[in-house]
Amino acid sequence: MTTIRSTAIRRAALPLAALAVLAAGCGTQRAGDDAGAPAPSRSGTATAGVPGIPKDFTCPGESPSPAAPTTPGTSAPASPPADHYAENHGFRVPLPLHGQSRCDGLAASARIARALEPLRRHGDFRAPSTLAALVRLGYPAEKVRSSQSGPTGVSFLVDASSTMCLEGTLDRAAVQADAFAGYPDHSGCDVPSGGH
């Protein structure tokens, strides 16, 4: 009779144990997380109250209520996909600039766009011409890379300082330049090739 009773107890304990695991959330909440707080996003939203990150403010030439700063690759979903692709490739998402650095980045991007606009108007879509124009702006040649992107396009990358990178494209449609603060696990301005 003891055997029958202990088997019945084990059968009843199994569903209860499964229910307890499900109720616990299987480790979806980390220590220090707020249970109802939304997942953090990598977008460059305002940073008021974040220790160590300067507060963003309206930069010269910007509208009084600035939108989130646009940096290459900062559009990430609010919740990670089931396959964890975004999470596993987060090391390739550029870091946004904040505070005065953000304003400096916007000014540098506008300066580059103005310098490359004559090349676009004249139809000069050669990497050496783009490189020369960026060097004339004062960036050292060894800190500037430009490469051909098809017959009518050039992409460029400038390691402007230890805290600012500039990248963009020049093609028939427009000149685009964006500033960012590098990458999370990588020194330098080039896109990292490997992660964790």
Q: How far, in Å, CA of 166 to CA of 177, rounded?
A: 7
Note the pLDDT tens digit of each residue in 3-60. Answer: 444 444 444 444 444 444 444 444 444 444 444 433 333 334 444 556 778 888 899 8
Q: How many CB atoms lie within 10 A of CB 188?
A: 12
The most confident of 24-28, 66-70, 71-75, 173-177, by mean pLDDT: 173-177
Please give the residue that has the higher pLDDT: either 1 or 54: 54
**Please, are residues 147 and 132 in contact by the beta-carbon 8 Å criterion?**
no
Write the DSSP symbol of residue 141: G
Token pair for residue 28? Answer: 């979806």
The reported pLDDT for the residue numbered 192 is 85
Please give the residue that has the higher pLDDT: either 93 or 66: 93
User: pTM, whole model, 2 decimals?
Assistant: 0.64
How would you label 137-161 residue by residue, b for 16+ Cβ within 10 Å and e otherwise?
eebeeeebbbeeeeeeebbbbbbbe
Note the pLDDT tens digit of each residue in 108-147. Answer: 999 999 999 999 999 999 999 999 999 999 999 999 999 9
The reported pLDDT for the residue numbered 21 is 41
**Please, are residues 106 and 134 in contact by the beta-carbon 8 Å criterion?**
no
**Please, are residues 189 and 157 in contact by the beta-carbon 8 Å criterion?**
yes
